[in-house]
Structure 1
Amino acid sequence: MIALTACSKTTSEQMKQGGAGSADHGGHGGNHGEEAKAGAGASVQALWKLSSAKPMAKQNTTLTLQIQDGQGKPIEKFDINHEKQMHLIVVSKDLSYFDHIHPEYKGKGVFEVSTAFPAGGEYKLVADFIPAGMTATTQTHWIQVEGEKAPQVQVQPEAHLAKTADGKNITLTTDGQLAAGKELTLKFHMEDAATNQPVTNLQPYLGAVGHVVIMSADAEQYLHVHPMDEKSTGPDALFMTTFPKAGIYKVWGQFQQNGKVFIVSYVIQVS
């Protein structure tokens, strides 16, 4: 195995984002600073291990995370956060690929998951979890995957935030100007693409109507947002968040209907 250490930074449904395609854990997630401070001031650290020093595209790679405190002692208890002890977000460097998976807790601070990367290139891994008695924490790391690379996609703001995904027309709007440092409500409005009727039978996904992940174009700013009304069934799903700085961001919304999870993505400009 190859071991990689990372400290907290600002910062399974697989899909390649070609057009249609999840930010702040309803008040936490992302932008924690260079160290996530635990209850007594000890920093939370992650030791990342890969089953291969050179992971290959389209082949399963096992990721192992050892979560420990600043003295190198395992952190052994974690809060359940939306039905899981850890959420792991995987994105390609150009943000064209997005995956949200859930490592299994093996005990003594160790989490493990197996996944396959779709193409060669750089990927960012974001582990999102809450050590018991501490605050929400993110641990991030970049990895290089061998194999044929996919064509690079430029992250450009979109003029129209209306997409069709999984037979639904989904429009993203906000309650004000997209500006940094301002609390904003993101509204996903959904209608059936065939009938134009409102979608009112969304099902809980990980205990809520949906989840939103947001990343800046350079993948340095990370937000994971939970809905304002977790029990909503549509046609609107509302999420409140604050963008930490101006720039271009990609937004992924994850929802479920008829037992199937679907994802829709947008690229926005924040002033």
Structure 2
Amino acid sequence: MEKRMMLMLTGVLAFGLLAACSTPKESADGHGGSHQHGTTNSSANNDGPGDHGSHGGHDTGGHAADNYKASFSFASGTAKASENTKLNIQVTDANGQAVHDFEWGHEKLMHLIIVNKDLSYFNHIHPEWDGKGTFTIDTSFPKGGEYKVFADFVPKGGSGTTLSEWAKVEGETKPLESVKADAKLVKVVDGKEVALTLSSTKAKDEATLTFTVKDEKTKEGISNLEQYLGAVGHVVILSEDAEQYLHVHPIDEKASGPAAEFMTAFPNPGTYKIWGQFQHQGKVLTVPYVVEIQ
């Protein structure tokens, strides 16, 4: 009998701008925001190692939260480093019934974020909906170890929901690196110089994150950033232990640079990794930063 690794968790509805941006190709109201949640781990039976987390959504919309469950499984039973593997995701409601209706959120029915234990690896991909109850995607992992998978989606008539799980990948592992704050928040990626400024580095304060994109050689601002998934950019933020997750959307989704602004609030003091994603001349730039929040 083929072994299958089933990774299960219960998540609580997380409210945020993802719900407000639930139409394809364009935003509903043009305002930036974020949704966030934390995790608590408990053990459960499965054929592969992994902690099963309960995700507490922070209700910013004043609505009652509904419960959803996601089942993550590898079609081959296990995932091996550097090998292509099919990942299946199934969503059920509080009554255990499969969810079949989803709304578009920034041009996709589901966004999948994958990171490794020390946050040195990041992948933002989009599973395909088979119309029968399952999202699927072929992906690969660069090395063995633990990876956390976050699934963002909007149930029809609901709000933005994020469910996640740790998954074990077989293969050679490498020593984990510590997540240390950057001394300078200026990065160069694919010939673009991207600087990040934060209006506040204090936990729970409303903070504006401003990314300024320039040409690395000329230092001229780039004002023709392209729409990426219906917005000038997307930002994902994780605490160093991957327990706090924020998916942030722009204040002005139709902006084109050189500056792109995002607004959020860091839930607690600590170290956070930030990934900004932007598109220029048909290529997506992923720019990582690490900041310390007081």
In the superposition, the TM-score normalised over structure 2's length comes to 0.83
Secondary structure at the aligned position of 2:157 is classed as coil
Write the mapping of 1:1-271 to structure 2, written as runs, cut at 5 A: 1-8=4-11, 25=18, 26-31=32-37, 34=55, 42-175=66-199, 177-271=200-294
- Aligned positions, number: 258
Which residue number corresponds to residue 15 of structure 1? none
Per-residue deviation at 1:42? 4.7
Query: Percent identity between the aligned chains?
Result: 47
Please give the per-residue CA displacement for 1:217-270, whole angstroms capped at 9, x wherever unaligned.
000000111111111111000000111111100000000101011111100001
Moved over 4 A (4+): 39-42
CA 1:54–1:109: 2 relative to 1, 3 Å = closer
Q: Within 1, Cα distance between the matches of 2:65 and 2:184?
A: 45
Partner amino acid for 1:189? T
Is the CA contact 2:180–2:271 (under 8 Å) kept in the aligned structure 1?
A: yes
Is the CA contact 2:250–2:261 (under 8 Å) kept in the aligned structure 1?
A: yes
Per-residue deviation at 1:9? 6.5
Q: Within 2, Cα distance between the matches of 1:56 and 1:205?
A: 31
Per-residue deviation at 1:3? 1.6
Q: Within 2, Cα distance between the matches of 1:261 and 1:230?
A: 16
- Higher relative CO (Cα under 8 Å, sequence separation at least 6) belongs to 1
Q: Within 1, Cα distance between the matches of 2:260 and 2:66?
A: 37
Gaps in structure 2 of 5+ consecutive residues: 19-31, 39-53
Which residue number corresponds to residue 16 of structure 1? none
Is the CA contact 2:55–2:163 (under 8 Å) kept in the aligned structure 1?
A: no
Which residue number corresponds to residue 23 of structure 2? none
Partner amino acid for 1:4? L
In the superposition, the TM-score normalised over structure 1's length comes to 0.89
Q: Within 1, Cα distance between the matches of 2:227 and 2:167?
A: 32
Partner amino acid for 2:220? Q
Gaps in structure 1 of 5+ consecutive residues: 12-22
